[in-house]
Amino acid sequence: MNNRTPIPQVYDASHTETKWYEYWEKNGYFSPDPQRSKPFCMVIPPPNVTGFLHMGHALNLTLHDIITRYRRMKGDQALWLPGTDHAGIATQNVVEKQLAKEGLDRHQLGREEFIQRVWQWKDQYHDRIVKQLKSMGASCDWTRERFTFDEGLSAAVKEVFVQLFDEGLIYRGEYIVNWCPRCETAISDIEVDYRDVPSFLYYVRYPIKGHPGEYLVVATTRPETILGDVALAIHPDDERYRQVANLTVILPIIGRDMGIIQDEYVDPQFGTGVLKVTPAHDMNDFDLGKKHHLPAIAVIDPHGVMNQNAGIFAGMTREQCREAIVEKLKSLDLIEKIEEYSHSVGHCYRCNTQVEPLVSKQWFVKMKDLAQPAIQAVEEGRVEFIPERWNKIYFEWMNNIRDWCISRQIWWGHRVPVFYCQECGHYFADRGQPDYCPKCNGKVVQDEDVLDTWFSSALWPFSTLGWPEVTSDLKTFYPTSVLITAFDIIFFWVARMIMMGLKFMKDVPFQKVYITPLVRDAYGKKMSKSSGNAIDPLEVARQLGSDSLRFALAWLTVQGRDIHLSMERIEASRNFMNKIWNASRFVLMNLEEDFAPIELNNETHLSLKDRWIMSRFQQTVEQASLALDDYRFGEYVQIIYDFIWGEFCDWYIEWSKKDLYQGSPEEKRKTQSVLVQVLSGIIQLLHPVAPFITEEIWHSLPMRNENDALIVSDWPVSEKLWFNDQSEKVIRSIQNLIREIRFLRAELEISPAETCRVQLGFHQSDNREIIEKHLGYIEQLAKCEIIKTDVELFKPDGAVTGQVDGIDIFLMIEGLVDVDRELQRLNKKHKVLCEDVERIQKRFEKPDFLEKAPQEVIEKDQIRLEKLLIEAQRLQKLIEGIMNQ
C-alpha cells in the first residue's frame, strides 16, 4: 500500500522533530524485549537534576544515540537506559540559595521539611532535563528511567554498604579530608579542582631555642596555619642543617617549643629546604605526623574561621588571619622576605570555594583490594578503553589509589545506614530502619551523614537493571555493551563502576569505554559562559535543527582529538540537511503517483551510471558499518557525506535528468528505481546521526506502509555482487575529464551559459573506445560539445590544454576569451598562489612551529600547502598553454 505523503518545498525542523519523537515514543520503539536474543545495552551518564544541557552533554547523547539507533536497526534488542543523578552537594546548594532568597536556611526548616523542599525542586527540574534530552532525539527507553535516589536504587545502595561494612571494607576513622567551608562537608580527593592562583611565598624565621639571634627560615604560602605547626622537618641528607637536627625551635607568636624531625619526604630544593609540619591542615603533613607520632592541632574550624587554638586571631577568616599574622610577624622581625609566587590551590568542584584540609571523623571505603581486580580487568582486555591511551591514566590512578571518603555532612542524599545504640555504644549497619540495638535492645539513632553521590553512581550499570533483585533485565542486559563518557569522570565514575561491578556482579559492567573528546570553540579554547564563547545546544537546535547539531558534533568526533566547534560547521551541516531534503524532493517529484519500482539485481540491464552508483552505494554501506562498529564517528559521517553530496547528488542525480526528461519509458523507470533504492539506503545510513529528517523523508518514499518506521527498519547490508570495479574506473575517468574541463572554464571565466567546444586526444586506443561510448555524460555536466576525438591528437590552433588520465583536452577559446586580459589576470593569480606557498613553507622551516604547534594545525597547513601547490602547477600549465597558441 502506498501511503506516500507529498514532501514540502522547505523542511520544517521544529514541527518534524516534535512529531516524530512523539510517534517513536508512542509506538514503543525505544523499549527492547528482554526475552528476545541479541541484547545491546548502554547506560546514560546520569545528568544532574540541577543541570541543563551544555555542548558536552549534546556530544555525549549524540554519540550514544547514534550507536543505539545503529544497533537497533542491526536487529539487536537495543536498550539505552536513561536516568538522572540526585547530585547531593550541587542540588542542596541550589535549594539553599533558593531558601536564602526567602530569608530561610535549612536548619530553620529542619531535616525532614528541607528534604521535602528538595524533592519538589527535583520534580520540577527533572522534567526540564528530560525534555532537553528528548528534544535532541535521545532514543532512551523512558519506561525504564531511573533516579539515583529512587526506591530501587536506594535499596541497592544499602545492600552494597552493608555488605562492605560487614566485610570490614567500610570503616569509620579520624582522618584528614578535603573540606569545603561553603558546603560544610567533606569532598573526596578527586572532587577537588586544582588551579593555579597568584600568591606569595613568605619566608618566616623560627627562633632556635637557646641560640639568641639564630633562626631556621621556612618558606610558606599559608602563614595562617603557622599557629597549628607542631614541628619543622629537614631532609636527612641536607648538609646545611646537620648541626641543628637535634635542637628545638620556638613557634613564632605562640611561643610553643617544637622539635626538628628528619624525613626523606622533604624537598631540599623548595624554599629553604625546611618544612613546617601542620598535620591538621595539610594532607602530606598529616601523613608525616602519623609517621613521627606528632599531635594534630586544628586552628581553622569547618566554616573556614580561625578557632580558639588561634589565640588572638580567633574569629577571623582565613584571609583576614593571613594578613594579620603577616603584620604581626613583621612587627617581631620574623619575616625575612616575601616573594610573588603562583601555586596550585584546591577548590570545591561544586561551589569553587578554596578547600581546607581538616581532620574529622568520616566513613571510608578501603580501595586497594577492590582496585586490584579492576586493574586486572583492563590489563586482560575485558574492559577496553577507546582511545587506548586512556589505559595509562586509568592505571596511574588505580595503582596509587587512596581510601575513598564516602561520607558527606549534608542532608540531601542516601543517609549512611549505620545505627548507634544510645545505651551500650554499639554501632552496626542495617538495610532497614531498626529501632533497637541487637546487643542490648537499647534505642538506636541513625548516622547524620549522607553518602557521596558517586557511591550510588558506582552501582549504576546493575542497580538500574533491578539489582539486588534478579530481574529479567539484569539477566539479559548485564554486563552492558559500551559506556560513552567524558574523560574527567574516569576516576569519579568509570573506575568505581568497574570495581563495584566486579565485586557484586562478579563481572565487568561494560566491555568498552569510549572516552569522548572535549568540545572547544573554533579557536581551541575551552567553552564557558564566563569566557563568552559557549554555544547553547538547545538554542542552536531551535535555530538550525537538532539533526544539524548532531551531524556537526559527530562529524568532528575523531578519536584522540578535541572538537573545535563553530557555528560555521553547524551551518555547513544544516546545508547538508537541505541538500538531502532537496535531493529527496527531486527524486519524489519525478515519480508517477502509481510508480512501482522494478526489481534491481545483477541481471538487470543497467547503464554505466547505474552500475557505478550501485557499486559506490554498496561500498559506502560496508565502510559506514565498519566505522560505526569501531566507534569511528567522524569517519562514519564523512563517508556518508562524501557519498551523498559528492557522488549521489553532484553526479548521479545530474546524469539521471537526461533519462528522466528525455529517456525512453524503460530508461526512465530503471533510473527512477535506482534513485529510489539508493535514496532509501542513504536515508537508512543517515538515520542514526540525523533521525528526524530521515524519518520524515522515509514516510514519503513509495511502497512504504504507514507503520513501516525507519527507526526499526533493517540496516542496509553490503552486497558485494554489486561491487563493479570496471564501471567505477570508467566513471572516474569521465569525472576527471569533466572536472578538468570545468577547471579550464572557471579559470578562463567562460560564462556558464556558453557551450564551449572541446577536442579529446587519447594516448591509448582502448581508453578512447570506453570514453567515446559515454561522451554524453561529459557534454551534459561540463556544458561542452565534443567536436573531435582521436588518438595522439595534435593541439589545434586557438586552444588551451589540459590533461588527465592520459587524455589531452583541447578547449577552443577563440571568440570566448580575451587572451591578453586573461594572461594578465592569470599571472597575477599565480603570483598570489606562489606567495601563499612560500609563506607556509617558511613556517614549516621553523623548528619551533613543528615542535609547539598542535598536530591538527600542522596537518591543516600540510593539506593547504598540497592544494596550493597543485593549483599553482595547474595554473602554470594553463598560462603556458595560452602563451603557446
- Average pLDDT across the chain, whole number: 91
Which of 815, 835, 861 is where one domain is finished?
Answer: 815
Which string of b and e fits 546-585 if b means at least 16 CB within 10 Å?
bbbbbbbbbbbbbbeeebbbeeebbeebbebbebbbbbbb
pLDDT one-digit tens code per residue, 514-529: 999 988 887 778 776 6
User: What CATH number should be reported for the domain holding residue 747?
Assistant: 3.30.2320
Residue 594 banded pLDDT, cuts 50, 70, 90: confident
Report the distance separating Cα 793 and Cα 788, nearest Å. 9
Give the model's pLDDT for residue 562.
85
Q: Which of 660, 655, 683, 684 is nearest to 673 (CA)?
A: 660
**Is 5 part of any domain?**
no
**Is 765 part of any domain?**
yes
Which of 786, 815, 844 is where one domain is finished?
Answer: 815
Give the model's pLDDT for residue 175.
87
Supply φ then ψ for residue 450, to 5 degrees.
Answer: -115, 165
> Cell match 508512542: residue?
26
Report the distance separating Cα 565 and Cα 544, nearest Å. 15
What element of type H or E holds 154? Answer: helix 151-166
pLDDT higher than threshold 70 for residue 530: no
pLDDT higher than threshold 60 for residue 3: no
Q: Which value, in Å, is the radius of gyration of the alpha carbons in the chain?
A: 36
Report the distance separating Cα 53 and Cα 546, nearest Å. 13
pLDDT higher than threshold 70 for residue 101: yes
Give the model's pLDDT for residue 2.
44
Give the three-class secondary structure for 354.
strand
Structural domain including 91 reads 13-159+455-517
Rank 24-38, 116-130, 154-168 by mean pLDDT and report only the highest. Answer: 154-168
- Same structural domain, 18 and 151: yes
Provide the pairing of β-strand 480-486 with 510-516: parallel
* DSSP secondary structure code for residue 466 in this structure: T
User: What CATH number should be reported for the domain holding residue 843?
Assistant: 1.10.287.380
- pTM (two decimals): 0.85
DSSP annotation string for 713-777: SPPP---GGG--HHHHHHHHHHHHHHHHHHHHHHHTT--TT--EEEEEEESSHHHHHHHHTTHHH
Give the model's pLDDT for residue 818.
65
DSSP annotation string for 405-439: E-EESSSSSPBP-EEEETTT--EEE-SS---B-TT
What element of type H or E holds 821? Answer: helix 819-844
- Same structural domain, 79 and 144: yes
Give the model's pLDDT for residue 856.
67
Q: Which of 703, 731, 728, 723 is nearest to 602 (CA)?
A: 723
Query: Could you tell me the strand order of the sheet in which 335-348 lies?
Result: 215-220, 192-207, 335-348
Q: What percent of the chain shows pLDDT beyond 70?
A: 96
Amino acid letter, residue 228: G
- Same structural domain, 446 and 553: no
Residue 884 banded pLDDT, cuts 50, 70, 90: low
Report the distance separating Cα 836 and Cα 870, nearest Å. 13
Taking residue 682's Cβ as centre, other Cβ atoms within 10 Å add up to 24
Residue 800 banded pLDDT, cuts 50, 70, 90: confident
What element of type H or E holds 40? Answer: strand 39-43
Q: Which three cell numbers stand for residue 25?
A: 515514543
Q: Which three cell numbers stand for residue 537?
A: 545546544
Give the model's pLDDT for residue 190.
66
**Is 173 part of any domain?**
no
- Same structural domain, 155 and 19: yes
| 361 assigned to a ligand binding site | no
**Is 533 part of any domain?**
no
**Is 530 part of any domain?**
no
For the segment 473-481, the average pLDDT, to the nearest whole number, is 96
- Same structural domain, 679 and 576: yes
**Is 168 part of any domain?**
no
- Count of domains for the chain: 6
Which of 782, 815, 848 is where one domain is finished?
Answer: 815
Largest pairwise CA distance in the chain: 114
- Same structural domain, 546 and 432: no
| Neighbouring-strand partners of residue 216 | 206
Give the three-class secondary structure for 79.
strand
**Is 368 part of any domain?**
yes
> Cell match 526540564: residue?
128
pLDDT one-digit tens code per residue, 58-92: 999 999 999 999 999 999 999 999 999 998 888 88
Q: Which of 417, 696, 694 is nearest to 551 (CA)?
A: 694
For the segment 422-427, the average pLDDT, to the nearest whole number, is 94
pLDDT higher than threshold 70 for residue 883: no
Q: What angle do CA 542, 544, 545 make, to 5 degrees?
A: 65
Report the distance separating Cα 600 and Cα 516, nearest Å. 41
Give the model's pLDDT for residue 603.
66
Whether residue 427 contacts residue 419, with contact meaning beta carbons closer than 8 Å, is answered with yes
Q: What percent of the chain shows pLDDT beyond 90?
A: 66
- Same structural domain, 210 and 288: yes
Q: Which three cell numbers stand for residue 311?
A: 589565640
Give the model's pLDDT for residue 601.
78
Helices (H), 505-607: 537-544, 546-555, 567-589
Report the distance separating Cα 793 and Cα 669, nearest Å. 39
Angle of the 765-772 helix axis to the 775-782 helix axis, nearest 10: 70
User: What CATH number should be reported for the domain holding residue 307?
Assistant: 3.90.740.10
Give the list of residues 6+ apart from residue 846 with CB closer than 8 angstroms, or none: none
Cα dist from 684 to 17, 73, 190, 514, 632, whole Å = 17, 9, 43, 24, 18
- Same structural domain, 67 and 155: yes
Whether residue 21 contacts residue 137, with contact meaning beta carbons closer than 8 Å, is answered with yes
pLDDT higher than threshold 90 for residue 550: yes
Give the three-class secondary structure for 6.
coil
Which string of b and e fits 781-807 if b means at least 16 CB within 10 Å?
bbbbebeebeeebeeeebbbbbebbeb
For the segment 585-601, the average pLDDT, to the nearest whole number, is 89
Give the model's pLDDT for residue 5.
60
pLDDT higher than threshold 50 for residue 677: yes
- Same structural domain, 299 and 191: yes
- Same structural domain, 287 and 192: yes
Whether residue 456 contacts residue 153, with contact meaning beta carbons closer than 8 Å, is answered with yes
Give the model's pLDDT for residue 196.
86
**Is 842 part of any domain?**
yes
Give the model's pLDDT for residue 1.
35
How many helices and strands (H and E) does the chain possess? 28, 29
